[in-house]
């Protein structure tokens, strides 16, 4: 399944990956006001890595990703749970959204954003986990 070969796909995947990742970050960060958000951004990033996987194979994609998709899922869940905690610090109910403005760049940071990043990571991790699991089994079949 993980077939390398066509030159156009190889080059396109290499060039498109950073663009797609940038786009996914863009979607993630603007999601609160414009169409976008963690889920969609996660799907875009997952699609980007999937394209890369088809062009260059599983091993190359794992090297590009650096972390295992399983760890991404775990980190995402952790972010999701962590975002519920700052409200406690202010004595407000569990999960109340907290907003802070970072002065110099005038960026509005918030617990919903942390939560959205968690969603993003879980989506990327889950999709890639399923796809690499399928691809891996293929490879195993070939060896056996």
Partner 1 sequence: MQLALLSGFVVAGFAPLLHRWFGARTPLVMALLPAFLAAWLMGLWPNVTSGETLLLEWAWVPGLDITLTFLIDGLSWLFAMLITVIGALVLIYSGEYLRGHRDLPSFLVVITAFMMSMLGLVLADNLVTLFVFWELTSLTSYLLIGFNHTDPDSRKAALQGLFVTAGGGLALMAGLVMLAMAGDSWSLYELVQRGEVLRDHALYTPMLICLLIGAFTKSAQFPFHFWLPNAMAAPTPVSAYLHSATMVKAGIYLLARLHPALGGTDGWVITLSLVGALTMVTGAFLAIHHTSIKKLLAYSTVMALGTLTMLLGVGTQKALIAFVAFLVGHSFYKGALFMVAGILDHETGTKDVTAMGGLRQVMPLTAVVAGLAALSLAGLPPLLGFVGKELMLAAVLEAVDWRPLLLALALVAAILTLAAAAIVALRPFFGRRQETPSTPHEPPRAMLAGPAVLAVLSLLFGLMPGLLDSLASVTVAGIALEGGEGGAAEVHLALWHGFNLPLLLTFVSLLLGLLVYRHWDTLRTWLARLDPLMKRGPEAGYDALMAGMVAFAYWQTRMLQNGYIRNYLVMTLLVLVGLVGHALFFRHAPEFDLVLSVYLHEAIVVGLMVAGGVSACVMRSRLAAVAAVGVMGFSIALTFVLFSAPDLAITQLLVETLTVILLVLVLFRLPHFATLSTPGERLRDLVVASLTGGLITLLMLSVLAGERLPRISDYMIANSQPLGHGHNIVNVILVDFRALDTLGEVFVLALAAIGVYAMMRFHASSQWTQPSPRKNDDD
Alpha-carbon distance values, 34 to 31, 44, 83 (Å): 5, 16, 22
Q: Please answer whether residues 112 and 32 qualify as being in contact, where contact means their C-beta atoms are separated by less than 8 angstroms.
A: yes
Q: Which residues bind partner 1 (CB under 8 A)?
A: 1-4, 31-40, 43-44, 46-47, 50, 57-59, 69-70, 73-74, 76-77, 80-81, 84, 91, 93-95, 97, 99, 108, 110, 112-113, 115-116, 118-119, 122-123, 125-127, 129-131, 133-142, 144
| Least Å from the CB of residue 104 to partner 1 | 20
Least distance (Å) between residue 18 CB and partner 1 = 19
Ordered alpha helix ranges (H), the chain: 7-30, 38-56, 58-65, 69-82, 86-89, 111-143
Q: Which is closer to partner 1, CB of 8 or CB of 47?
A: 47
Least distance in Å: CB of 54 to partner 1?
Answer: 8
Comparison of 11 and 71: residue with beta carbon closer to partner 1: 71
Using the CB atoms, write b or e for 91-117: b if 16+ within 10 Å.
eeeeeeebeeeeeeeeeeebbbbbbbb
Identity of the residue, 105 or 115, whose beta carbon is nearer to partner 1 in the bound complex: 115
Nearer to partner 1, 102 or 144 (CB): 144
Nearest 5°: phi and psi at 101?
-105, 125
């Amino acid at each position: 399944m993980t077939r390398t070969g066509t030159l156009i796909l190889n080059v396109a995947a290499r060039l498109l990956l950073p663009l797609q990742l940038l786009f996914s970050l863009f979607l993630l960060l603007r999601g609160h006001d414009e169409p976008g958000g963690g889920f969609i951004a996660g799907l875009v990033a997952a699609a980007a890595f999937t394209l890369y996987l088809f062009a260059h194979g599983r091993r190359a994609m794992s090297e590009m990703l650096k972390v295992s998709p399983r760890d991404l899922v775990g980190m995402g869940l952790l972010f999701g749970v962590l975002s519920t905690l700052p409200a406690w610090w202010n004595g407000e109910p569990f999960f109340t959204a907290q907003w802070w403005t970072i002065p110099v760049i005038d960026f509005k940071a918030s617990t919903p954003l942390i939560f959205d990043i968690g969603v993003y990571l879980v989506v990327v991790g889950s999709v890639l986990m399923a796809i690499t699991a399928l691809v891996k089994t293929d490879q195993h079949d070939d060896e056996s």
